[in-house]
Structure formats: structure tokens, C-alpha cells
């Protein structure tokens, strides 16, 4: 009784859990940047702009002193003013070039969230969610029966703290340990992308080459607070 329903539920496609939609956008952006090793916006350009703005006041006073100088040091003060202006302009130009270069590097690293899955020899979906999760999970969809114990043993050679559990018919859910960093708001977690690359290069892609992997779906879990 009810066997037909149980059979239908058991054969339904496995859904990889993805709770990252409740993350605050700023937190999601920060985790994604950290996971992919993308540089932050930096403070050099705002500092340079601030210095340029505040330098207006002493330069204004210097200009007034030049107009009223009666000590014969007008030439020296003019040279000082010119040097100050040239230094401010050069510093701003340097800061702007650094800002542009860092922005280009950041965009290139963040683009990996789209280019890396496309470079794999099989379908990979959900990488961005995996990268920002507290508990990064991905489901390996095998083409047929696979020994879970052997899969786990092979995985632990690359990632000793990784876990494998069945998640459906010929589906194995793999959890890799996240990176943890302490912030003033508590512990921040994000996925270990270099470890994922090693797992794919050393295990998943070779298994696909043996005809054992159909696709990989990715996601992850986050705490209810969604920090």
C-alpha cells in the first residue's frame, strides 16, 4: 500500500539545497569577493581625493601670503605652492590608475563564477551560491551505481575534512569545509574555492573521464540570521 507513491518520490530529481537567497546583498558580495580572492575597493583613491580637497585651504592661505609678502621670499613661496599642486595632481593620477587596475582585477576574479563552470567538461550549476554558503554543498550526479565508501576515501585524500552522503538515486552530496575568518560582527564563512578546484582536478573530472559523472549541482546552507 502506497508503494507507487514511494517509488515516485524516490525517483524524483534530487534538489541541491540552496539557502543563500536570504543573505544580505552586502554580505553576499563580500563572501563572493573573498571566496574568489578578488581585491577590495581600497582606500587609496578616497584618501587622495581627501588630501586634494584639504590642501586647498593651505594653498589659499599661501596665495594670500604671496600677495602681501614684504620679506622678499615671494619666489620661494611660489615655488612651494607650485610643488604642492604638482604633488597633489601626481598623487591623484597615481591613485586613479591604481583604482582602475584594482577594479579590473576584481572584475576578472568575480567573472570566474561564470567562466569556471563553463570550462568544466560536464554541466555545473549553482557555483555562486556554493561560494557564499556557510556550509557549501554540491551534488555529484553519477551515471550509474558508485561505491560511496570508495568515493569518500578518494575524496579524503584531497580534502580530509570533506563528507559524502547519499542524496538520491546515483546522487552523492559532498560537503567541503568552509573558510572561517573572524570579523567585528562575528565569524564569517565562505567556500574554499581552491579546495574545490583541487577536488575537481583530482577526482571529479577524472571520474567523468571514466564515464561516471553526468553533472554537478551546487548550493549550500546558511544560518537563519543570514549575516
Please give the sequence-ordered ranges of beta strands (E in DSSP) within 89-128, or none if there are none: 123-125
Separation of first and last alpha carbons in the chain: 46
Q: pLDDT at position 22, please?
A: 86
Distance CA 208, CA 198 (A): 15
Q: Which residue has the higher pLDDT, 103 or 5?
A: 103
Nearest 5°: the CA angle 222, 223, 225 is 120
Q: pLDDT at position 6, please?
A: 40
Assess whether pLDDT exceeds 50 at residue 10: no
pLDDT digits over 47-88, tens only?
667 776 766 666 676 566 666 655 556 556 666 666 777 777
Assess whether pLDDT exceeds 80 at residue 217: yes
Q: pLDDT at position 195, please?
A: 96
Cβ atoms of residues 187 and 180 within 8 Å = yes
* Cβ contacts of 39 within 8 Å, gap of 6 or more: 102, 105, 106, 109
Amino acid at each position: 500500500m502506497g508503494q507507487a507513491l514511494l517509488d515516485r518520490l524516490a525517483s524524483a530529481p534530487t534538489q541541491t539545497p540552496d539557502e543563500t537567497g536570504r543573505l544580505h546583498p552586502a554580505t553576499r558580495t563580500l563572501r563572493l569577493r573573498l571566496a574568489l580572492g578578488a581585491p577590495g575597493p581600497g582606500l587609496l583613491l578616497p584618501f587622495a581625493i581627501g588630501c586634494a580637497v584639504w590642501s586647498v585651504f593651505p594653498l589659499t592661505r599661501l596665495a594670500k601670503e604671496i600677495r602681501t609678502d614684504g620679506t622678499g621670499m615671494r619666489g620661494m613661496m611660489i615655488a612651494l605652492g607650485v610643488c604642492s599642486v604638482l604633488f597633489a595632481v601626481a598623487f591623484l593620477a597615481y591613485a586613479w590608475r591604481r583604482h582602475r587596475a584594482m577594479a579590473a582585477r576584481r572584475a576578472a576574479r568575480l567573472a570566474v563564477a561564470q567562466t569556471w563552470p563553463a570550462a568544466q567538461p560536464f554541466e555545473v550549476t549553482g557555483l555562486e551560491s556554493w561560494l557564499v554558503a556557510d556550509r557549501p554543498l554540491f551534488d555529484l550526479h553519477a551515471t550509474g551505481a558508485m561505491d560511496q565508501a570508495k568515493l569518500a576515501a578518494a575524496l579524503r585524500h584531497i580534502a580530509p575534512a570533506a563528507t559524502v552522503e547519499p542524496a538520491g538515486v546515483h546522487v552523492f552530496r559532498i560537503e567541503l569545509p568552509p573558510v572561517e575568518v573572524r570579523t567585528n560582527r562575528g565569524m564569517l564563512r565562505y567556500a574554499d574555492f581552491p579546495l574545490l578546484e583541487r577536488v575537481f582536478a583530482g577526482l571529479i573530472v577524472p571520474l567523468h573521464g571514466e564515464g561516471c559523472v553526468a553533472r554537478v549541482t551546487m548550493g549550500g546552507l546558511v544560518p537563519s540570521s543570514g549575516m
